[in-house]
Chain A
Amino acid sequence: MKKVGNHNSISRKLLLGVTLMLAISFTSFAQDAAPAAATEAPAAAQGADPVKGKELFNSNCAACHKLDAKATGPALRGVAGRHDKAWLYKWIHNSSALIKSGDAAAVKIYEEYNKSVMTAFPQLSEGDIDNIIAYTSEEKAAAPAAVPGQAAAGASNGDDSGVSNNIILGALALVMLMLVVMLFLVNSVLTKVAKVNGIQVAPKTPTTPIWKAFAKNQFLVLVTAIFLLLASAYFVYGFLMQVGVDQNYEPIQPIHYSHKIHAGDNEINCKYCHSAARVSKNAGIPSLNVCMNCHKNIAEVAETTATPEYSKAFYDEQIQKLYTAVGWDKATQSYTGKTQPVKWVRIHNLPDFVYFNHSQHVTVAGIECQTCHGPVETYEIQKQFAPLTMGWCINCHRKTEVKMEGNDYYTKIHEELSKKYGVDKLTAAQMGGLECGKCHY
């Protein structure tokens, strides 16, 4: 006689348990989503509008001045305290005239800043200047005491956090343990009941163990052997094909450079820095003078750039590394001439026997950088997105249609090929993009 009821109930319990645990784990994330609202209290200025002032400051002054640090010109926070307004109007409208007139304060600044003349801004009205002064007179916002970075945690999916995985696994283990205990208890109870009821439990008849039976069945052994061999061949092949494929290679770089901040938050075009990608086979790692185009004036990151993982101090230290490498003295705002070229770790390593040309793909084909390099603008640490295997290249060449419009080079060949294949659009493969010698020479 068989009793089958138990089996069912166990699986039901299991399912219930898992559902329960999952539900708990999800709710545990809800408390993370508490946004920290750290808004600055606008400092009131006498009738002038600091918001307008900020706008004007950013468009006119920020190229040479910072609020709190020396740049090409002096730091401007609290400048109204250092000079009177009438003097400031004169200086801003025409600083060189003021210097020529022999004004002591003007000459002092002129001398202090390497005799660089400030551009005259006759177009700024006194009201505009008042607005700017109002903006520069704002108190420096205190660093938020709370940890604002918590807000940055993304949408919770459960599977992106190591903690939740552990909780689930722990819960499952507990459930399993409980089941084992319950089964044992049930078994012992049933045995007891049977004993009490006087039911004879049939002693186990010694049968041939399953492994012996298996070993005796030659057909099964053969099939299993073949199966195992095939399976191992499959895995070995899979393993070997991974050799030399460095997808997701994410080395530690000498300077922690965040593409997320540059290409993501600040939306700097990829080709601003990697300008060689347009014309050369190499995309080119930007030379440090390209960095200094902006970083001459950006010596530190904004408070809001910092994340729980990387503090502001950490980022500022990275910018300092750039200054050390390029030989920029922040204090004197000048190059010292002592340079230390940065030894970046190369991430995308194509073998020597492959010829790849960026300009062909970027300029001629107009392919977005992200197609091969992934969502770089989200990468805090740059990594290799694509496998860079031949199969990967070939697949793309097979399905990508060549952009031929407006390129006189393709006019004739397009006409001839489209007639030959009877299609209007041609893939790179149809253009001969699968021939060995196109990439291997």
Chain B
Amino acid sequence: MSSNKKYWKSVEELENGSIVEALRNNEFVEAIPTDEFLGNDDAMSSSSTSRRDFLKYVGFSTAAATLAACEGPVNKSIPYVLQPEQIIPGVADYYATSVFDGFDFANLLVKTREGRPIKIDNNTIAGAKFAANARIHASILSLYDNMRLKQPMIDGKDSSWSAVDAKIKTSLAEAKSTGGQVVLLTNTLASPSTEKLISEFISLNPSAKHVVYDAVSSSEALDAFESVYGERALVDYDFSKASLIVSIGADFLGDWQGGGYDSGYAKGRIPQNGKMSRHFQLEANMTLSGAAADKRLAMTVANQKQALVQIYNIVTGASVPVSLDAKFKTDVTKAGQQLKAAGANGVLVSGIQDKNAQLLVLAINQALSSSAYSTAGVRQIRKGSNEKVAQLLQDMKAGSVHTLLMSGVNPVYTLADSAMFVDGLKKVKTSVAFSTKEDETASLTTIAAAVPHYLESWGDLSLTKGSYSLTQPTIRPLFDTKQFQEVLMSLNGTAGSYYDYLKGASASVMAGTTWNKVLHDGIVVSESAGLSGGSADFSGAAASLAQSKPSKGFELVLYTKTGMGDGQQANNPWLQEFPDPITRVSWDNYVTVSNADAKELGLSNEIVANGGLNGSYANLTTAGGLKLENVPVIVQPGQAVGTIGLSLGYGRKAAMKEEMMVGVNAYSLYKGFNELQAVTLEKASGEHEFASVQGQKTLMGRGDIIKETTLEIFNTKDAKVWNEVPMVSLNHEEVAGTTVDLWDSFDRSVGHHFNLSIDLNACTGCGACVIACHAENNVPVVGKSEVRRSRDMHWLRIDRYYSSESTFAEDNERKDNIAGLSSSLSTFNEMEKAGDNPQVSFQPVMCQHCNHAPCETVCPVAATSHSRQGQNHMAYNRCVGTRYCANNCPYKVRRFNWFLYNKNSEFDYHMNDDLGRMVLNPDVNVRSRGVMEKCSMCIQMTQATILNAKREGRSIVDGEFQTACSNACSTGAMVFGDVNDNQSKVTKLAADDRMYHLLEHVGTKPNVIYHVKVRNT
């Protein structure tokens, strides 16, 4: 039976047959001009290429390509003509140096290979107290930045140094004759020799003055300290001496007053003899310090001011009336009372940008006679004065500045009054920007003077009073550059090189030591006496601070991101790809909004189908009418209601690769150098695509990932209670999971057996290890869209977890109390969301180097295998890219090369140009496409240590074995070593009661160990 049913493909076909008919008949919109070519017999026959020829060409080229492929490449080896004595190809040299770029500072050891610096390590010699942060670790890549200024430029044209010198000299002479102002605008220098040069310059040019400008200002704290002690400096707090730390809006584990406090802080955070420090944090944005705190109060800056006065009242016994929000009263009072009780063991710090507030900080610490607070060895790393910079702007506007020399600053980018500066710049006769880049400022000045990177420069630094460190070049200048100091010398008519000048100028601090010794050590420290304690009208300051009124609308709290700082290194792909420790977002800045405010304004974040994070846009308008439009929004747990955060350092456009031009420039809102701005916030249309590396927010009560407890329980209960061992059923009996084994174990007692210990109490999430790993292991940068697809290549990630309730313990309890299916579904759903003021924990996760590694058993080609030394090996050349291992890894630490990330214009980062590739570590393979990679526990470093010992015929002492991450860790959270050495530190840590393995119940027996996080609540 045949059916006459008719089937339509669409409604249109049924109803309006003609269109469908037309479409069906004309498959192509335009007729393909086949006839034009094939139909024309003349054209075909007269064509010079016949079919036969075509086939011949194809055949020949195929054969030629095949033959060419058989030939191996001819490699050239070019030895030195005259080999420098200290360079042996294949052997690394280390040079001690120090850096201060106006924002970041550190005492360093620079590893060089064949004369090129490839890695930055911390200088651990006694007296060198400032360890490198993530940005300093990444600064080595900025040396090899292809966008650097390669020669001096005059009026945008390439020029020579003699022309530059002549032009500045002429301008100075003209200024002298006409009486025009000469201004030196620099960042804080902290360099005695440079300051000497500048004072010589000023004495030669009477109309000259020196203005110090810090892009991110600490002017109020400096003013307060100056008014009390008569010296423009900052206190160098020693948090290791404090048992109670109260921080009001000071992210001292971040960049507050330069940062660098984490190692001292961490010392007091590891419970010893039942004791550890207690840390209160009162803040608006969620910061690293807030994450580490035992008790964190999310409050507006207005409330912080009141809280500060309240604590001042309690500690000093004053009675200034305060109007603190009622809900904070008990907690703040408790903090104040505990602080008072702690006495000399307590310390209070504050980041409130208000001179009165900063005066109160000094008053409170004086009243406590806090031992963490000392006026000896004060920090000299911020000297900038807001008033003087404002005055300069006025002068420029008035046209009274004749010659402007700028070094280490980029005011066109970093000033909120950028437009005014640009206008003023037009009235300046000769302006010179000493810069490594043709940045926003240097592209507008008369002269863009190319200066060398700090790794190519000489210099001296006095970061704290009494310390003197030298900066020495580790490579010959890559480009035609000249140091600011050299130019000053030629302007001053000083003969000789800056090196000679530096040597001469340093003679006074070299007493009892020699130049070579200081150069070798990198630093010399002399005792510095405390400043005689002055006083000020503290109660007046308290009263006026208590009077300050909260602003209308939102409080915008500007901050600097761990990865980007003040934005000097915005063209550094390592830093761009570095995920923010708190938000876990890379390649962006964004406004952070509290959950409550987001709901009210209709702002949201969501994870879309491809796994990427999307967010709303918002428009910001300050009270002064400044606008910032289309700023992406991140809903931030722990953000104080009524406040929003936005990081500086993004949105740069000049001398940047296109991929790196991300984010918005928040400096445009940094009016009056005040990080606190009153703004209104409104939703804008559109969705922003973030590159976030972590979608999940909470632990869901899974206490076996991050084990947390309180000091009280830790001190009073048995380890089994707070460091629970997972139980499994064996022969119908519950036994500890660690005792059950599916496999026969290897004997690992012979030779070395490496363990990496990570103390979650000491880890602040600073991320120095992430960048150090990047540098050591040639980890590629993959770019924003790839990170969004979760294809980031970081071998070491720092997971961040929020609690859903106010603490992790409550989460665990809530999960344990689930009864029944419906309760479990609804509870888990809620537990996915982070709390409004959650506890935060960081957990660095890299390959766990399991003794029973799940990845090894599934590799079809045995590309990953186990060594006797505890390291899980990955033979890249053997890997065929099945990715089974990554799927079978419970820790998700394996990274797949989806593309060729080097010499590929699709990934135009440092590995795509010859200059950028100079940073690669020659001892580590650069992986190719289709290969799995992961943390190797820095096997190249452990092998090198072993070889050195063998060559010298000696045994290895503890501390010699290091990995890039353990080397970079300034807090001592990461300790690496040989557990077969009974005397080693890591052996003791592995036997510690707090020790646990990540996902212990899986039975992988990892060689990375963690320590239970203890909070002193």
User: A276-B90, A280-B91 known; A440 and B78 CB under 8 Å?
Assistant: no
Are A438 and B878 interface neighbours, CB within 8 A? Answer: no
The answer to whether B953 and A406 touch across the interface, beta carbons within 8 angstroms, is yes
B79 partner, pick from A246, A286, A355, A436, beta carbons under 8 A: A286
Across the interface, do B81 and A413 meet the contact criterion of CB distance under 8 Å?
A: no
B876:A353 contact, CB within 8 angstroms? yes
Inside 8 A of B874's CB, which chain A residues have their CB?
Answer: 437, 441
Do B923 and A435 touch (CB < 8 A)? no
Asked whether B983 is an interface residue with its Cβ less than 8 Å from the other chain, the reply is no
Which listed segment binds B: A48-56, A135-143, A214-222, A338-346?
A338-346
A343 near B76 (CB under 8 angstroms)? Answer: yes
B944-978: which have CB < 8 Å to A? 946-947, 949-956
B540-561 interface with A by 8 A CB criterion: none
Residue B925 CB within 8 A of the other chain: yes
Given the known inter-chain contacts A346-B75, A432-B867, A432-B869, please indicate yes or no for A437 contacting B955, CB distance below 8 A. Answer: no
- Whether the pair A437, B78 counts as a contact (CB closer than 8 A) is no
- B936 at the binding interface (Cβ < 8 Å): yes
Task: With CB as the reference atom, state the residue of chain A lying closest to B952.
Answer: A409
B865 CB within 8 Å of chain A: yes
B823 at the interface (CB under 8 A from A): no
Residues of B in contact, count (CB < 8 Å)? 50
The segment from A17-25, A93-101, A357-365 that touches chain B is A357-365
Q: Report how many A-B pairs have Cβ atoms within 8 Å.
A: 155
8 Å CB contact of A344 from B76, B91, B868, B953: B76
Task: Given A284-B79, A284-B90, A406-B953, check contact A420 B750 (CB 8 Å).
Answer: yes
B876 near A440 (CB under 8 angstroms)? Answer: yes
CB closest residue in chain B, given A290: B83
Query: Is A408 an interface position by the 8 A CB rule?
Result: yes
Count chain A CB atoms within 10 A of each CB in B83, B865, B868 and give the residue with the most.
B83
Contact with B along A43-82 (1 / 0, CB 8 A): 0000000000000000000000000000000000000000
Q: Does B873 contact A (CB under 8 A)?
A: yes
Is B865 in contact with A280, judged by CB distance below 8 angstroms? no
User: Can you name the residue of chain B whose Cβ is closest to the Cβ of A246?
Assistant: B72
| A-contact bits for B921-938, CB 8 A (1 contact / 0 none) | 001111000000000100
Known: A246-B72, A441-B924. A407 touches B939 (CB 8 A): no
Residues of B864-884 contacting chain A, CB below 8 A: 865, 867-869, 871, 873-878
List of A residues within 8 angstroms of B743 by Cβ: none
A244 within 8 A of B: yes
Residue-wise, chain B 748-767 has the 8 Å CB interface mask toward A (1 for contact) of 01110000000000000000
Q: Which B residue sits closest to A421, measured CB to CB?
A: B750
Q: Which of A271-305 contact B (CB under 8 A)?
A: 276, 279-282, 284-290
> A residues within 8 A CB of B953?
406-409
Partner of B873, one of A345, A351, A435: A435
| Contact string against A for B residues 459-489, beta-carbon threshold 8 Å, 1 for contact and 0 otherwise | 0000000000000000000000000000000
**Nearest neighbor of A417 in chain B, beta-carbon distance:** B750
Query: In the complex, what distance in Å separates the CA atom of A440 from the CA atom of B955?
Result: 25
CA distance A280 to B587 in the complex (A): 40
Distance of A432 Cα from B868 Cα, bound (Å): 7
Determine whether B74 belongs to the interface, using a CB cutoff of 8 Å to chain A: yes
Say whether, besides A432-B869, A441-B939, A279 and B79 are in contact (CB < 8 Å). Answer: no
Q: A144 vs B953: C-alpha distance in the bound complex, in angstroms?
A: 55
* Known contacts A359-B951, A409-B954, A441-B924; A288 and B77 CB within 8 A of each other: no
Residue A341 contacts which of B81, B871, B952 (CB distance < 8 angstroms)?
Answer: B81
Q: Which residue of chain A has the shortest Cβ distance to B82 in the bound complex?
A: A289
The CA of A153 and the CA of B77, in the complex, are separated in Å by 33
B514 interface residue (CB < 8 Å to A): no
Chain A nearest CB: distance from B624 CB in Å? 56
Q: Select which of B74, B81, B925, B939 is within 8 A of A288 by beta carbon.
A: B81
Knowing A284-B90, A349-B75 are in contact, say whether A289-B81 is a contact too (CB < 8 A): yes
Contact with B along A400-441 (1 / 0, CB 8 A): 000000111111110011001000000000011001111011
Distance in Å from the Cβ of B242 to the closest Cβ of chain A?
A: 43
Task: A285 to B868: give the CA distance in the assembly, Å.
Answer: 35
A160 interface residue, CB < 8 Å from B? Answer: no
Residues of A within 8 A of B940 (CB): 355, 441
Across the interface, name the chain B residue whose C-beta is closest to A390: B877
Q: A363-B951, A440-B875 are known contacts. Are A285 and B77 too (CB-CB below 8 A)?
A: yes
Residue of A nearest to B954 (CB): A408
Question: Which residues of chain A in 89-125 are interfacial with respect to chain B, using CB atoms and an 8 Å cutoff?
Answer: none
A426 smallest CB distance to B (angstroms): 11
Residue B726 interfacial (CB < 8 Å): no
Residues of B within 8 A of A244 (CB): 72
Given that A276-B89, A284-B89 are contacting pairs, would A251 and B749 also be in contact in the complex, using a CB cutoff of 8 Å? no
A129 interface hit (Cβ, 8 Å): no
Contact string, B85-104, partner A, CB cutoff 8 A, digits 1/0?
Answer: 00011110000000000000
Q: For residue A412, give the distance in angstroms from its CB to the closest CB of chain B.
A: 7
Per-residue CB contact flags for chain A residues 234-254 toward chain B (1 = under 8 Å, else 0) read 000000000110100001000
Are B873 and A437 closer than 8 Å at their CB atoms?
yes
Contact status B873-A325, CB under 8 Å: no
Q: Which B residue sits closest to A407, measured CB to CB? A: B953
A88 at the interface (CB under 8 A from B): no
* Chain B 765-780 interface mask (CB, 8 Å, partner A; 1/0): 0000000000000000
Instruction: List residues of chain B with CB within 8 A of the CB of A441.
Output: 873-874, 923-925, 936, 939-940, 943
B455 → chain A closest CB, angstroms: 23
Residues of A within 8 A of B8 (CB): none
B37 at the interface (CB under 8 A from A): no
How far apart sit A243 and B69, CA to CA, in the bound complex (Å)? 11
Give B752's nearest chain A residue, CB to CB.
A413
* 19 further A-B pairs in the complex, CB-CB below 8 A; given A286-B79, A436-B873: A244-B72, A279-B88, A279-B951, A284-B79, A284-B88, A289-B82, A326-B81, A346-B74, A346-B77, A352-B926, A353-B876, A364-B950, A407-B953, A409-B956, A413-B750, A431-B751, A435-B867, A436-B875, A437-B867
The chain A residues found within 8 Å of chain B, CB to CB, are: 243-244, 246, 251, 276, 279-282, 284-290, 325-327, 339, 341-346, 349, 351-353, 355, 357-360, 363-364, 406-413, 416-417, 420, 431-432, 435-438, 440-441
**B: which residues have CB within 8 A of A?**
70, 72, 74-83, 88-91, 747, 749-751, 863, 865, 867-869, 871, 873-878, 923-926, 936, 939-940, 943, 946-947, 949-956
User: Would you list 30 pairs from A and B whose C-beta atoms are within 8 A, ordered by A residue?
Assistant: A251-B74, A276-B88, A279-B88, A284-B89, A286-B79, A287-B80, A327-B81, A341-B81, A344-B77, A344-B79, A345-B76, A346-B75, A355-B940, A355-B943, A358-B90, A359-B951, A364-B951, A407-B950, A407-B953, A409-B946, A411-B955, A416-B750, A416-B751, A417-B750, A435-B865, A437-B875, A441-B923, A441-B925, A441-B936, A441-B943
